[in-house]
Every structure is written in structure tokens, then in C-alpha cells.
Structure 1
């Protein structure tokens, strides 16, 4: 009985350490839009990895190499002059889908976490992967933009507001929504 009690007490002392050792959880955002156009027209607007600036209002330019080949890279310049570098990981013209990852981002500031300064990336996320998919849905076309990522600060200290889950999720939702809404407007008008 003493051994069982000792085990329970030890477990209770270790539980908080295990909870805090876990770190950040993976987050996910998925946004969609229905566009009054055929799938081929919509795919032709979004498929080129080097042309995000043509339909996303926050992107002022795209510098790219590699076209739509897996391994192609692009550096996006945002309207605040921050940059994001991404790599194309998958491209399937037949399924009208591609997947890309963020490799690096410029910093838009710093924040103090437990006495140590940390960069605030252009988009407050880390380990970001995203998919863009176009599919016919009746006489419309559905575009889905899905991302899986972690918040900007993945350490075990208390994360600052600038790098927490809510800020990361809101940023990606805003980016996706403004891009998809602009895409719809450009194609339908």
C-alpha cells in the first residue's frame, strides 16, 4: 500500500512538469470560397506558384524560381515590406492542388520572453504547411486553402500575445479570407 501511495504522490508531482514540457500544439485553419466560374478558369488564376501577388491584396510582389516544379521557391514581399520565403512541395495539375511550406520570414519586431528577446515573424507562425485546392462544385468552383502550423513561439515559457495560438490563428484566417475574397472578386468581375 505504501508503494502505491508513493507512486501516486510521485505522479502528482511529475504531472505539472509533463504538462508544461509538451510545448505548443499544432493549429489548423481552413477557409473556402465558392466562385461563379468553371474550375479551369479558377485553377488558371491560382496555379502559378510565382503569381500570388496577382490575386492576394497583401502581396505586392513575388520573386520566384522553378515555376510549378516541386522544389520551386518564391519570396513574397508584403505590403509592409516584410518578406516570406516558401517552397513548393507538391503540385498536381490533374487534381488542381498544390502544397507549400514557409521556409523563412523577415522579422517585424521583437518581444521579451522571460528576459530574452525573440523575433516576431512577418506572420506569427512556425512550421507552416499549406494546401490550395480547386474543385468543381455544381456550376461553381470551390477553392480551399488549408494550413497546419504552430504558433510563433513554441517554447515552454508563457507565450506573449504577439506569438500565441490566437494571434497565429487569426493571422492565417485573415490572410486566407482576404486572398480568397479578392480571388472571387477578380474572377467574377
Structure 2
């Protein structure tokens, strides 16, 4: 769910209300800043979330911290790689 955009700081905020990621209470933002060289940009993507299972151990398989972190890291890595590929093709 889109939360906000700030054109001046080039930042967007969003949250995932429900979906296929094994996380809960997911909130994130992306910021674009000038890169080190001419025509370059740096994208920062930061997310905050909890594993699906919030209670004490034993934690059901697939609902642990490692699973949540691996899933979100995969989304970030794939998303940033796709963004880079798309922008470099222009």
C-alpha cells in the first residue's frame, strides 16, 4: 500500500498489508540521491518488518527470523537489479 511520496527528498514510503512474503508489519521506503559520477544515482531501500510468528518459541518452520530476512533480502536484491537494468537500458 502506497503511503507517501516526497518529490523534494525523492523518497517514497509504502507498506505491505498482506501478501506472499513470510513477514508481518512490513514498512519500507526508497530514496534516490545523486551518485558519485555524472548521470549516476544511488538508491537506498530500507524495510522494517517482523517474522510472521510473533510469539515465543517454538517457532513454526518457515515463520522464523531467518526465513523473513531471506525473503525480503531476495525482493530487495531482485528489485534493485531490475531497476538498474531498466534504467541502464534507456
Q: TM-score w.r.t. structure 1 length?
A: 0.44
Task: Note the aligned Cα RMSD (angstroms).
Answer: 1.1
Task: Give 3-state SS (helix, strand or coil) of 2:56's partner.
Answer: coil
Question: What is aligned with 2:55?
Answer: 155
Within 1, Cα distance between the matches of 2:82 and 2:17? 25
- Structure 2 distance, partners of 1:94, 1:136, is 13
Query: CA deviation digits over 1:114-133, x for unaligned, max 9?
Result: xxxxxxxx100001100011
Matched, 1:90 2:4: yes
Instruction: Quote the residue 1:143 is aligned against.
Output: 43
- Residue of 142, 150, 164 corresponding to 2:64: 164
Q: TM-score if structure 2 supplies the norm length?
A: 0.89
1:1-189 equivalence runs, <5 A: 87-105=1-19, 122-139=20-37, 140-189=40-89
Instruction: Report which of the two structures shows the higher radius of gyration computed on alpha carbons.
Output: 1
- Tell me the CA shift for residue 148 of structure 1: 0.5
Please list every run of 5 or more consecutive structure 2 residues that lacks an aligned counterpart in the other structure. Answer: none
Structure with more contact order per residue of length (Cα contacts < 8 Å, sep ≥ 6)? 1
Q: Deviations over 1:8-42 (max 9, x none)?
A: xxxxxxxxxxxxxxxxxxxxxxxxxxxxxxxxxxx
Cα distance per residue 1:69-91 (max 9 Å; x no partner):
xxxxxxxxxxxxxxxxxx22221
5+ residue gaps, structure 1, are 1-86, 106-121
Task: Report the Cα offset of residue 138 of structure 1.
Answer: 2.4
The structure with the greater share of residues assigned to helix is 1
Q: Secondary structure at the match of 1:161?
A: coil
Q: For this pair of structures, how many residues does the alignment match?
A: 87
CA distance in 2, matches of 1:153, 1:102: 16
